[in-house]
Amino acid sequence: MDILKLKPVFKDYIWGGTRLKTDFGFKSDLDILAEGWMLSCHKDGMNTIDGGEFDGQTLEEVIEKEGKEKLVGTRSLDFPYFPVLIKLIDAKDNLSIQVHPDNEYAKRVEHEFGKTEIWYVIDATPDAQLVYGFKEKISKEEFKKAIEENTLLDVLNTVNVKKGDLFFIEAGTVHAIGKGVLIAEIQQNSNSTYRVYDYGRIGKDGKPRELHVKKAVDVSVTEPPKYDIKPMGDKVIGDGFDSTLLTKCDLFTVNHYDVEKSLTLEADEKSFNHVLVIDGEGKINGKALKKGDSFFIPAGFGKYEICGKCEIIVTNI
């Protein structure tokens, strides 16, 4: 099977901006593009194939026809669902302060899996900030009281961010993307989110957006984050490219590449590769590649080459 180019799915959440249109060139009838789902087999938004023999079919349909082990890889057998969901996120305004459940809680309460994720900061305004865990360890009761008394922002850990920062958001970490941040998010294939605080915003229905305080208190780890806000690995200078390991965990492995001339990668039988182009242009195995493109390389495909001058994020499991 050939490399599959994917069409993104867009979400117009109220905090979103227009950079996915202006910077990435995406076309949509939506006025706001808060998120672009670049690799998704989730029920809330599935990618379709762009061109080739599977043109117009969903990625999930192709996987069902061709076989999960064959396309997603032998490691996919460890997951009863498609393993990851990858997004581009443009925050023109602050996102709600929120938390995601772990697998045990999410399966029991939401009937889907939990959500651990990473954020790679593609760009950020000079004053951009994120919420990442707590300033110091507090009790669940103190957390609940801070929500009720509207003092939550006083106990949360706010971090200044810049291009190239990497955040590992383990399930249970209270967090929020701040305004002015453009992010690539690689996460478990889940959409379970518990909103804790939303700045009093009104939703499209004219009512304050729903909060999920009880569930949030149940699942939150009320202590400072335990991970540095930087990639796991140092930059490695290669022949025609630079590479940086962003993260490696039991859910996914993510690498960042700055391609100056060419780069050869390989998708073995264990896992597919996903290539997300976040800047530049070039070719992938001779086919055109540009900023905003999303490619699914089936497991067992073997070696493939990326040529040109571009910046990419490559994910496997």
Catalytic center residues: 195
- CA gap 137, 224 in Å, rounded: 6
Q: Which spans in the chain are helix H?
A: 19-22, 59-66, 68-72, 103-109, 140-148, 152-155, 213-219
Which residues are within 8 A (CB) of 92 and not within 5 positions of it... i.e. 6 or more apart?
A: 15, 16, 17, 18, 19, 32, 179, 180
In terms of residues, how long is the chain?
Answer: 317
- CA gap 115, 286 in Å, rounded: 36
Question: Contact, 22 vs 92, CB < 8 A?
Answer: no
Burial pattern 268-306, b for ≥16 Cβ within 10 A else e, equals beebbbbbbbbbbebebeeeebeebbbbbbbbbbeebeb
CA 153 to chain centre: 24
Question: Contact, 284 vs 295, CB < 8 A?
Answer: yes
Which pairing describes strands 181-188 and 117-124: parallel, antiparallel, or unpaired?
antiparallel
Tokens linked to 257? 């590449």
Tokens linked to 160? 């200044």
- CA gap 222, 172 in Å, rounded: 8
